[in-house]
Amino acid sequence: MQTTVHEVELRGGVRLTVEEAGRGPALLLMHAGVSERHMWDPQWEDLAADHRVVRWDWRGFGDTPHVSGPFSYSEDVLRVMDALDITRGTLVGCSFAGFVAIKVAAEHPERVARLVLVGSGLPGYEAKNPPEVERLFAEEEAAFAREDVDRALAVLEQLWLVGPARRAEDVDPTYLQQARELLRRADRPDNGAVSEDSSWSGEGAFESLKMPVLAMVGDQDVPDAVASAHEMARRLPGLTLRVVAGAAHLPNMERPAEFGAVLREWLATTGEDVRDE
């Protein structure tokens, strides 16, 4: 399988390295905030067999630095699509990337054929975590505040890679090591960058979506992510909800066979004739 690398210029002079492989309906694979583009390695070759798959590191993650000034992740998605001549595509977003995908779909529905939301939050909806999970979030923030990066990453690992209700020894060690390496490449200094997406309330946006939507979540994910997935199903008739057993926040990495089977089945029943133009 051949992967083509593109250099896409974003607002502020950021140079984005975008990888592309395969031909067919366009799938934009957008990584979680606790990872980077290689989280999609388990699906990359399989999906490229009959899709045009595209991925990159968001600003501030992996190989892409932040630069000072305002920016928009949702705008970056559209710039990637324009640079690669993708008129419409399916957005696959994990975690915060799902929020970005919802924003793009709500503001530019003509560009989005389908949505796949993995462990994603729901704009305007805040589920409550139990006190023990909230304590972990507070501990992570405090560790970053005192610049104890190792402790902060350890807490992030517990929350998102292992899952708050499990122990590390209960998780497949190969998956955990791979996810841990990506976590350490996930977040870079903001260098004065300010995301404009954070001010978007998204009120009523999700309910207005008309394209097919698949929501997936691991049953070992943080409770508010699980609750958000079920709330999506309640608010949007026709949404397909799938819970992946034995997986935390990155089910495509932890349970790649199950994740791939669900995604493949759903793509096959929601308009595989949709092509990028």
Residues 234 and 105 both lie in one domain = yes
Q: Tell which residue, 79, 59, 101, 47, has the closest CA to residue 212.
A: 101
Residues 198 and 76 both lie in one domain = yes
Q: For residue 274, tell me if it sits in a domain.
A: no
Q: Running DSSP on this structure, what letter comes out for residue 24?
A: S
Q: For residue 273, tell me if it sits in a domain.
A: no
* Rg, C-alpha atoms of the chain: 18
Residues 174 and 51 both lie in one domain = no
pLDDT in tens, 168-200: 999 999 999 999 999 999 977 788 899 998 888
Residues 24 and 151 both lie in one domain = no
Residues 57 and 16 both lie in one domain = yes
Look up the domain containing 151 and give its range: 131-183
Is beta strand 112-118 parallel, antiparallel or unpaired with respect to 52-56?
A: unpaired
Q: Does 273 score more than 80 pLDDT?
A: no
Q: For residue 30, tell me if it sits in a domain.
A: yes
Q: For residue 167, tell me if it sits in a domain.
A: yes
Q: For residue 198, tell me if it sits in a domain.
A: yes
Average model confidence (pLDDT) across the chain: 94
Q: For residue 90, tell me if it sits in a domain.
A: yes
Q: Does 76 score more than 60 pLDDT?
A: yes
Q: For residue 20, tell me if it sits in a domain.
A: yes
Residue with the bigger pLDDT between 19 and 192: it is 19
What is the structure's pLDDT at 191?
Answer: 81
Q: Does 1 score more than 80 pLDDT?
A: no
Residues 244 and 258 both lie in one domain = yes
Residues 140 and 52 both lie in one domain = no
What is the structure's pLDDT at 277?
Answer: 41
From the CB of residue 31, how many other CB atoms can be counted at a distance below 10 Å?
27
Q: Does 51 score more than 90 pLDDT?
A: yes
Rounded Cα gap, residues 49 and 163, in angstroms: 32
What is the structure's pLDDT at 190?
Answer: 82
Residues 195 and 226 both lie in one domain = yes
What is the structure's pLDDT at 274?
Answer: 47
Residue with the bigger pLDDT between 134 and 126: it is 134
Q: Does 276 score more than 80 pLDDT?
A: no
Numbers of helices and strands, H then E, in the chain: 9, 10
Q: For residue 148, tell me if it sits in a domain.
A: yes
- Assign residue 237 the CATH number of its domain: 3.40.50.1820
Residues 82 and 137 both lie in one domain = no
Residues 145 and 239 both lie in one domain = no
Query: Of 141, 162, 183, which residue is a domain's last?
Result: 183
Burial grade of 189 (CB within 10 A; 0-12, 13-18, 19 or more): exposed
Query: Of 140, 161, 183, which residue is a domain's last?
Result: 183
Question: What pLDDT band is residue 245 in, cutting at 50, 70 and 90?
Answer: very high
Residues 78 and 39 both lie in one domain = yes
- Give the number of domains in the chain: 2
Residues 252 and 192 both lie in one domain = yes
